[in-house]
Structure 1
Amino acid sequence: MNEILQGMIAAGHLIVTFDSDLIEISLRSLRVTLSAVALASLIGIPLGAWLAVKRFRHRRAAIALLNALMGLPPVAVGLIVYLLLSRAGPFGVLGLLFTPTAMIIAQVIIVTPLIASIAHQAMRELWAEYHDLLISLNATRWQRIGAIVRDGRRTLLTAALAGFGRGIGEVGAIMIVGGNIDHATRVLTTAIALETGKGDFALALGLGFVLIGLAIAVNWLIHSLSRTEAGSQW
């Protein structure tokens, strides 16, 4: 209990004093995760909608594979990305290893199946509802996808939030491909792991409270925007 109290005091002190390291680490965490979620949404949402609309031979197998990929072990993803970006790997010449870009790539791989799966479930229900209407209007496949995506945008926002929640708390893959380099690739989760290893539990708890606060703040902001959008439709 004493350590938790010390962690809360440490978190309050870091926030009130606008600690430069904390601000830097927090902004980097948000930049990496929001960039990854944006890219994952650009990939996952159209993919989920396409699977809901398109009928092909191995569609069930593709959906099953997509659902299975939601359980990808982050450490395994980090290892694969590390091997691809290392000097001996096919993309080593780009020099991306131990950079925020490598961290974003790892998070995109982890988050995309989750967003795509949630998007597919939402779009499948909308497609069942609008199927006859869109077919009667002779809409093209991409017009159908666009229509159901626009109508289901609030559910898709929830999918993006789920992706953000998984991304902001990721540590295994980020540690492997980012290296936890101070003032370069250190984010909140890797900083917490570092301070815990050093035995500084008060600071680790403080950083943890800040991480939770950031996750809640971003979710609250997006939820408020979605409610505002919903209210403006009436």
Structure 2
Amino acid sequence: MDTEILAIILLSLRVSLTATLISLLVGLPLGTALALSRFRGQTMLLSLINTGMGLPPVVVGLVVAMLLWRSGPLGTLNLIYTPTAIIIAQTLIALPVVVGLTASALQQVDERLRWQLAGLGASTWQQVLTLWLEARLPLLAALMAGFGAVISEVGASMMVGGNIKGQTRVLTTAIVLETSRGAFDRALVLGGLLVGLTFLVNWGLTVIQQRGRR
């Protein structure tokens, strides 16, 4: 556990947790709106979101890199090869997961609950909060799925971050680098740390989930 590895771990947690939080703040309302509303083209939109759940991260990385490249539309922001670029890419990866699973979770809640809440005079926000509470277990599962999708991806982080030592190198890109060098012992250590960090975060969320169940 040298200084370089510690910096890689902290950066991995920072970008992945930030991307997961942003995807939750954006995806939870979007998924709720999709689940509770009825409009033309809804099935097509849900199909696109479900397709996005399986979108290869390297494709997301390519799109973000083209946007942030110096000659791209957002090139003047100078975000390419920065942690912010990785956060943007990872947010786009996690967002369809959170939106899709949120919509699916709320659609499974008995529709009569909404009718009852409306009959009791509950406001729209009161209805939404009650439905979130009712579907809290699958919503936490959606959060865990979103985090798992970004903490383990490598293609997008490599393309928009550049795997720069001390700046944008995260655990997944460091594993690829050490493997390409033939340093399998160091790559295995990094892999073990990645699995351990993923377990700790998901263990904490699972504890919250199971307490909510009880």
TM-score norm. by structure 1 comes to 0.86
Contact 1:52–1:124, Cα closer than 8 Å, also in 2: yes
What is residue 87 of structure 1 aligned with on the other side? Answer: 70
Deviation at 1:155, TM superposition (A): 2.0
Aligned pairs (5 A) from 1:165-184: 165-184=148-167
Q: Gapped runs of 5+ residues in structure 1?
A: 1-17
One-letter identity of the residue aligned with 1:221: G
Aligned pairs (5 A) from 1:22-61: 22-61=5-44
Q: Distance in 2 between matches of 1:107 and 1:214?
A: 17
Change beyond 3 A, Cα 1:134–1:229: closer
Deviation at 1:166, TM superposition (A): 1.1
What is residue 95 of structure 2 aligned with on the other side? Answer: 112
What is residue 203 of structure 1 aligned with on the other side? Answer: 186
One-letter identity of the residue aligned with 2:147: F
Larger Rg, first or second structure (1 or 2): 1
| Alignment match of 2:200 (pick from 204, 217, 233) | 217
- Whose RCO is larger (CA < 8 A, sep 6+)? 1
State the percentage of identical aligned residues.
Answer: 45
Q: Gapped runs of 5+ residues in structure 2?
A: none
One-letter identity of the residue aligned with 1:208: G
One-letter identity of the residue aligned with 1:222: L
Structure 1 stretch displaced more, 99-108 or 51-60: 51-60
What is residue 133 of structure 2 aligned with on the other side? Answer: 150
Contact 1:85–1:91, Cα closer than 8 Å, also in 2: yes
Deviation by residue 1:106-152 (Cα, 9 ceiling, x = unmatched) = 00111110111111111111252412213323545444323212332
RMSD: 1.5
Contact 1:50–1:145, Cα closer than 8 Å, also in 2: no
Task: Check if 1:103 corresponds to 2:53.
Answer: no
Contact 1:53–1:145, Cα closer than 8 Å, also in 2: no
